[in-house]
Chain A
Amino acid sequence: MSENVYIIGAGIHPFGRTDSRSGREQGVYAVREALKDAGLEWPDIECAYGGSAAAGNADIMVNELGLTSLPFTNVANGCATGGSALAASQQAIASGMYDLALAVGFDKHPRGAFNAKPSDYGLPEWYGQTGMMLTTQFFALKIQRYMQLHGISRTTLGRVAEKAFRNGTITPHAWRRSPVDLETIMNAPMINDPLTKYMFCSPAEGAVALILASEKKMKELGADGVKIRAVAVKTRPPNSFEVFQAGISIEEGGKPTVLASQAAFEKAGIGPEDISVAQLQDTESGAEIMHMAENGFCKDGEQEEWLANGWTEIGGGKLPVNTDGGCLACGEPIGASGLRQVYENVTQLRGRAGERQVPGKVRFGYSHVYGAPGLSGVAILERE
């Protein structure tokens, strides 16, 4: 039997571009915000997990935070770094070994599309030399086929981006704070057909820190905690279709997101219909659409109707998705992105989201992150 785990502190460094701070300094900022939120001091933290993809090791943060000798594990899991840090810190408390743990993610990327080395992914050099080592192509290739098979229109792709920028205008930590109209999104330069410039998120900077506590510790502190009902991280099953694949099996395989989602719902003992707010990986518009179905919120093809009717808007009637503008409006600092989703759900569940607060009773919050080379992390939080 494992212990209940709560998030009692959440801190964020605004996403976007902050020339005056390194990625790690943004991480330290977020940790201090989270400590303040929880009413704790750094020496109270018993163990830590964190990482970045391009801004150095997380454990060096002890130089600024204090040399308290705590165990600090660096996490490196691509876009799912934050999700993995959360899962590890959750396990540290659930096991009963610790009462207070930190999960932190931060990053700072150069401008422009991410570039990757073929050898880092076990691929031959020609794959990169000939211009196929681009994550943006994968997203375009995946949604192009999906649109053909399930009748999703280009306008629906545009509506996802339009919603993201609209939510960004009312989110203090978002990068893109100005609305972009549908026509501008649709007519913007094509990056990888069918995805235009405004349908992709950009590499960015930012940091998020979460403080996790055992139930006993939360009560002792009198903290405002949100319960972690379930965390699940899954890597790809056989024959799946993922980023950076020169060859795909002709047998249709499973999907890491479907596996992580099912595992999380099973652990939580609830279903998609119980969720009040969801943060779904939206590295581009198509990803949000496909992830709505892969996470069980609708059937393939129903997204067309959902977006046309505004059902994923805040107060839109069914399920608000990416209430802080998601990756599209916040940008994607790889190490921090998955934890931003959890931060947003904590904020929504505590009823502290201000202008972007989802109306009514917000009991269950769902977050989903996907990363190369094919892994997904899902977290379900509950306001008791």
Chain B
Amino acid sequence: MGEKIDPNLWSDGAQPHLMGGRLPSGQIVFPMPVGDAAEGVEPYKLSRRGKLWSWTSQGFLPKEPYEGPGSGPGEGPPDFQPFLLGYVELPGEVIVESRIVDARLEDLHLGMELEFCIVPFNARYDTFAFRPAAQAESQAA
């Protein structure tokens, strides 16, 4: 396991949760606000399960401040690894933007069941992602 790309982005433990915030109005937001904007906002553990709301692929090397494969010293576009990303609706909470892993572009569809996971990002950091939910869990849920 690498370091967390942001120490407050998800909770620790065997079943980590993405951290959002609950506003005084009851609305759930992501990410948890910081600084003065965090006043009155309670940290809130977001659901580990959600449904695909939209998706796309990233087919070219992003410019700074991207720090993934292809961005390091001596690296370039040939070292870039294309990835999938999308928005995942966490029922009753909030829609979060996330990497999508362990799936092919052609398999993605609206409403697809996804689950939270932690994935290696670069030599130093891990980041969060969502992946297709295991079938058994999907039936249990």
Contacts and interface: CB of A to CB of B under 8 A. Distances in A.
Q: Which 8 A-B pairs have the closest CB atoms?
A: A247-B30, A115-B63, A128-B65, A140-B56, A145-B54, A248-B95, A193-B57, A126-B6
A250 interface: yes
B56 A193 contact: yes
A124 interface: yes
Contacts of A118: 65
Contacts of B59: 189-193
A246 interface: yes
B86 interface: yes
A133 B95 contact: no
Nearest to A191: B59
B137 interface: no
Interface size range of chain B in the complex: 35 or more
Contact of A247 (B34, B63, B94, B105): B94
Interface residues of A, number: 35
B60 A247 contact: no
Contacts of A247: 20, 29-31, 94-97
Interface of A: 112-113, 115, 117-118, 124-126, 128-134, 137, 140-142, 144-145, 148-149, 189-194, 245-250
Given A137-B58, A145-B110, A247-B31, A130 B68 contact: yes
Contacts of B5: 126, 129-130
Contact of A250 (B34, B85, B95): B95
Contacts of A191: 59-60
A352 B6 CA distance: 56
A128 B127 CA distance: 12
A148 B112 CA distance: 13
Given A125-B6, A140-B57, A248-B53, 17 more contacts: A113-B62, A117-B65, A125-B65, A126-B127, A129-B68, A130-B99, A132-B85, A133-B66, A140-B56, A142-B54, A145-B54, A246-B97, A247-B29, A247-B30, A248-B97, A250-B92, A250-B93
B84 to A, nearest CB: 9
B57 to A, nearest CB: 4
A141 B87 contact: yes
Contacts of A192: 56-59
Contacts of A132: 85, 97
Contact of A126 (B9, B20, B92, B95): B9
19 contacts: A113-B63, A124-B34, A129-B66, A129-B125, A131-B62, A131-B66, A131-B68, A132-B97, A140-B56, A141-B86, A141-B87, A193-B56, A246-B31, A247-B29, A247-B31, A248-B94, A250-B89, A250-B91, A250-B93
A250 B65 contact: no
Contact of B94 (A128, A148, A250): A250
B57 A130 contact: no
A129 B125 CA distance: 10
Contacts of A113: 60, 62-63
Interface in B23-44: 27, 29-31, 34
Contacts of A133: 62, 65-66
B10 to A, nearest CB: 11
B64 interface: yes
| Most chain A beta-carbon contacts within 10 A, residue among B34, B66, B68, B99 | B66
Contacts of B30: 246-247
